[in-house]
Amino acid sequence: MKDWLKKIKASLSLQELEDIRVDLLGKKGVLTQQFAKMKTIPNEQKKEFAQNLNKQKSDINQEIENQKTILMAQALQKELEATKIDVTKFTPDSATAAYHPVMDTMDKIIRYFQNLNFAVEDGPLVEDDFHNFEALNLPAYHPARDMQDTFYCKDSMVLRTHTSPVQIRTMQNSKPPIRMIAPGTVFRKDFDITHTPMFHQIEGLVVEKDGVVSFANLKFVMEEFLTYMFGDVDVRFRPSFFPFTEPSAEVDISCIFCNGKGCRVCSHTGWLEVLGCGIVDKNVFDAVEYKNVSGYAFGLGIERFAMLIHKIGDLRSLFESDIRLLGQFR
Ligand code: PHE
């Protein structure tokens, strides 16, 4: 008996333990055979014999249960160790997450202007008419409101059609001088290969005492910025119109696909339009009650920059969350 208990204690696996159990208590087991002897035992000894056997049986069962518990705990421990994951381990080829190309481009632009001491400002996505249009020299009757296909909400609120309202909010909340950018989401009713109803812009605004900044400063900052973003490109300023700037310009870079020779992407012009800018219109300063100041402003679409930098053909693909596209930006 003692030997069996020792054997049980020494068993190293659940299988070995089960084999021992069968050897003892199975159909032909050692103990089972002892029980079978019962009928050959004289009546007066039966009771003692049976008690003894039952005691042995329960001792063995008890020992088997104990050993089972120990072995199961060991097996679990082994399994845990084998399948342990070290979440701090660095694996260079593991599938890591990546920044979306739009956010990556936005970050790069933000960092560029932060280095030039521009503060990063913010404003609401649902704007009132005053900030989105009126204060930006776009009165209700103004035909230039048609340039922007606006989503209207209740109570003459709109989904902001550009980041320019943040210019107004920032000037209302602080005194000049101002040197800010405003990155963010904007909305226009438009959907084709170069337009999506939601996209991102970065606005820039510099305001100084009258006479401190000029168009030349704007031109220099834009040229430096575009060279930083696109490398060795030519930069061209074209006269244009925005209600909130006067004079206004649209800025082109020489086509980065054909080096200005002319191709399908630049419609064979050799140039790609990348941003709008100008000297802040006096009516805008009047709307925020700024006096004796001058400044410049610029605005650009981040998706357009991301598409040019990564040579992406269809703007809509940036918003489809297709892992095959996103995986390329790791
Ligand atoms: N808000 C203009 C647009 O969305 C861009 C712009 C900003 C132009 C600032 C000039 C100055 O098209």
Task: Give CA separation, 4 vs 12, 31, 62, in Å.
Answer: 14, 11, 12
* Tokens of residue 133, six digits: 């249009």
312 pLDDT above the threshold of 90: no
Looking at the CA of residue 161, tell me the nearest atom of ligand 1.
4
Strand order in the sheet with 119-120: 119-120, 178-187, 198-209, 293-301, 271-280, 245-254, 235-242
Mean pLDDT of 40-52: 90
| Beta strand extents in 161-223 (DSSP E only) | 178-187, 198-209
* Whole-number pLDDT of residue 325: 83
Compute the distance from residue 43 Cα to the ligand 1 centre, in Å.
Answer: 110
Start-end of H helices in 133-187: 165-173
pLDDT in tens, 84-95: 988 888 777 766
* Ligand 1 atom 6, closest CA: 299
In the structure, which protein residues have their CB atom closer than 6 angstroms to any atom of ligand 1? 162, 164, 203, 242, 245, 276-278, 297-299
Compute the distance from residue 196 Cα to the ligand 1 centre, in Å.
Answer: 17
Question: Can you tell me whether residue 295 is helix, strand or coil?
Answer: strand
From 241, 242, 273, give the residue whose CB has the most ligand 1 atoms within 8 Å, as the site to mutate: 242
From 244, 251, 304, give the residue whose CB has the most ligand 1 atoms within 8 Å, as the site to mutate: 244
Q: Say how far apart CA 205 and CA 297 lie, in whole Å.
A: 4
* Whole-number pLDDT of residue 223: 97
Q: Are strands 178-187 and 157-159 parallel, antiparallel or unpaired?
A: unpaired
Q: Considering only CA atoms, give the Rg of the chain.
A: 39
105: left (phi over 0), alpha (psi -120 to 50) or beta: alpha
Query: In the CATH scheme, what is the homologous superfamily, with its name and number, of domain 101-329?
Result: Bira Bifunctional Protein; Domain 2 (3.30.930.10)
Q: If you count them, how many residues does the chain have?
A: 330
Looking at the CA of residue 301, tell me the nearest atom of ligand 1.
4
248 pLDDT above the threshold of 90: yes
* Ligand 1 atom 7, closest CA: 299
Please indicate, yes or no, whether the overall pTM of this predicted structure exceeds 0.95.
no
Q: Say how far apart CA 195 and CA 189 lie, in whole Å.
A: 9
* Tokens of residue 137, six digits: 């020299």
* Whole-number pLDDT of residue 95: 67
